[in-house]
Amino acid sequence: MLYVVATPIGNLEDVSPRALRVLGEVALIACEDTRHSARLLAAHAIRTPTISYFEHNEERRTPELIERLGRGDSVAIITDAGTPAISDPGYRLVRAALAAGIRVAAVPGPSAVVAALSIAGLPTDRFTFEGFLPQRPSARRHTLEALKHEPRTMVFFEAARRLAATLAEMEAEFGADREAAVVREITKTFEESVRGTLAELRAGFTAAEARGEIVIVVAGAPASSVTEAAAGGAITVEALCDVGISLKDASAAVAKLTGASRRDVYQQALARRGGGSGTRPLKDFTR
């Protein structure tokens, strides 16, 4: 069994009894940083052997761990904070284990994404997790430009040293009045949640540099922005389907925003998917 175990993102008390039991029972724990994880394990008197598993060795280490699992050993994977494979190492090992027919079990727990959303004061019924933005300026700009009309609440990770610059870039693309929140050092001694417009947050964190682990939560685009984008052709049925909206609902939304016939929009979308005239209609679905 491969266990994907969530660990505290700050406060060592935020670990479940099940997580502690699993970490104590497995044959080996794969850690993003064995020295960092040693604090958590020592605090709970867990003496299970550990091995490093991080960004620069996971490709080489994955076959070794799959071999151990294939011999019948149970292995747990943990990262420095939060849930493995969420902007952290883990995806390659999980995928390889599944491909080898090894059972993979989640031991859920802390997540900086959900924790930040829960206290940001922004809509949480639908959201998109964007992780870290690209480091290259042009790629960052293109990524933010593509998200300008995203209607869902957006969650980003960012390094403290880049926070002010990132907020300025978001302000330029999303608008100065877009609501947002910066959640810093979640569950730690100096936890801080700052809410305001992107202009206010940019000014505040330019004047006083932030420290620690940062999560940025940004409100989705207002309805007027979505309408404008649809009228200009920037939003299509396919684009809405790509962000998780069903074909039926996406067709209805584009029809309402553009004034076109809902049936025509739907049938045209089916035709573009290869399910047009003369073929059986594709089954509606939500990705």
CATH for 66: 3.40.1010.10
Question: Can you tell me the mean pLDDT for 209-231?
Answer: 81
Question: Per the structure, how many domains does the chain have?
Answer: 3
pLDDT at residue 278 in the model: 38
Q: Does residue 118 carry a pLDDT above 90?
A: yes
pLDDT at residue 229 in the model: 60
* Domain final residue pick, 218, 253, 280: 218
Q: Does residue 230 carry a pLDDT above 60?
A: no
pLDDT at residue 232 in the model: 58
* Alpha carbons 20 and 102: distance in angstroms, whole number: 22
* Domain final residue pick, 176, 198, 218: 218
**Is 155 inside a domain boundary?**
yes
Q: Report pLDDT digits (tens) over 121-141.
A: 999 999 999 999 999 999 999
Instruction: Verify that 42 and 68 share a domain, yes or no.
Output: yes
* Alpha carbons 150 and 222: distance in angstroms, whole number: 9
**Is 286 inside a domain boundary?**
no
Question: Can you tell me the mean pLDDT for 18-31?
Answer: 98
pLDDT at residue 115 in the model: 96
193 CB burial (10 A radius; 0-12, 13-18, 19+) = middle
Instruction: Verify that 171 and 258 share a domain, yes or no.
Output: no
Range of the domain at 144: 113-218
Instruction: Verify that 87 and 11 share a domain, yes or no.
Output: yes
**Is 196 inside a domain boundary?**
yes
Q: Report pLDDT digits (tens) over 200-214.
A: 999 999 998 899 999
Instruction: Verify that 210 and 231 share a domain, yes or no.
Output: no
The pTM assigned to this predicted structure is 0.78
pLDDT at residue 287 in the model: 31
pLDDT at residue 185 in the model: 95
Instruction: Verify that 175 and 139 share a domain, yes or no.
Output: yes
Q: Does residue 261 carry a pLDDT above 50?
A: yes
Q: Which of 34-43, 67-76, 142-151, 241-250 has the lowest mean pLDDT?
A: 241-250
Per-chain mean pLDDT for the chain: 89
Instruction: Verify that 169 and 181 share a domain, yes or no.
Output: yes
The length of the chain is 287
Instruction: Verify that 104 and 6 share a domain, yes or no.
Output: yes
